[in-house]
Amino acid sequence: MKEPEVEWFESWFGEEYVALYPHRNEAEAEKAVALIADTLGDRPVRLVLDLACGSGRHSRYLGRRWWTSGVDLSEVLLRIAQRNGTPAKLVRADIRALPYRDSSFDLVVNLFTSFGYFETDAEHSFVIRDLARVIDSGGTFVLDYLNEGVVRDRLVPCDETLVGGRRVEQRREITPDGRFVVKHIEIKEEGREFIERVRLFTQAELSSMLEQAGFSIERSFGDYDGTPLTDESPRVIFFASRN
């Protein structure tokens, strides 16, 4: 029998990812969670889900404010989150098959473009619909995504850096159909290469996907400082309530 094809994110978010990106920005994570707390204000939040939590960078700050569960597919990143004392219940699962009951959470967050990884838009839409299932009525979903227009306009085709004594070349391109940005990461001396691929959803496409899943967008921001969302913003941050 033919072996099932391994999707890029199954092989990439492991030991090599950790070695090449050892220090993600903690201050940025704290600022993102502060923006969430400030925007929600006095709205009651009991239970929080950090969707695609990775190594727990955001879960650490979420867990200091609210009871939090973090879910991710990468066993390596979840072990790091646990080792770092992340105050969250960590669960290993594919976000296309959330292991939670209906209406389990008051708040679900998906931060730092940990979305858009799948081959088809149907898969992305299914994830949004399923997370709507696990959010209680009146609850909030926070989606923090790249600004596709800025990515297209400011794409750096190639760069090379030295990480831990290893030369790492990164080549970036937009796929011919214009739907994805792809990054090829090559460890030069070792001749090994990894791929990242993210769907370039427009603001309108993200809004439509949320609305079709039963969400209403209440607030939007262009960065973690809470500045208004514009075409030139580095981020697209939506606060959407479940109807």
- Helix (H) and strand (E) counts in the chain: 8, 11
Q: Is the pLDDT of residue 3 over 50?
A: no
Question: Is pLDDT above 90 for 79?
Answer: yes
pLDDT in tens, 18-40: 777 765 688 999 999 999 999 99
Phi, psi of 197 (to 5 degrees): -140, 125
Burial class (CB in 10 A: 0-12, 13-18, 19+), 116: buried
Measured CA distances, 214 to 33, 44, 239 (Å): 24, 21, 13
- How high is the pLDDT of residue 2? 40
Question: What pLDDT score was predicted for residue 5?
Answer: 65
Rounded Cα distance, 179 and 169, in Å: 23
Q: How far apart are CA 192 and CA 166, in angstroms?
A: 12
pLDDT at 1: 46
The secondary structure of residue 66, as a DSSP letter, is S
pLDDT at 106 over 80: yes
Considering the chain, what is the average pLDDT of its residues? 92
- Among 12-26, 61-75, 134-148, 202-216, whose mean pLDDT is lowest? 12-26
What pLDDT digit, counting tens, does each position of 214-238 carry?
Answer: 999 999 999 999 999 999 999 999 9
Taking only the tens place, the pLDDT of each residue in 170-214 is: 999 999 999 999 999 998 888 788 899 999 999 999 999 999 999
Summarize the confidence of residues 137-142 as an average pLDDT: 97
Which position has the higher pLDDT, 191 or 120?
120
pLDDT band at 14 (very low <50, low <70, confident <90, very high): confident
How far is the C-alpha of 224 from the C-alpha of 30, rounded, in Å?
9
Residue 22, pLDDT score: 60
Assigned superfamily of 8-146+202-242: Vaccinia Virus protein VP39 (3.40.50.150)
Torsion 193-119-96-198 (CA) sign? positive
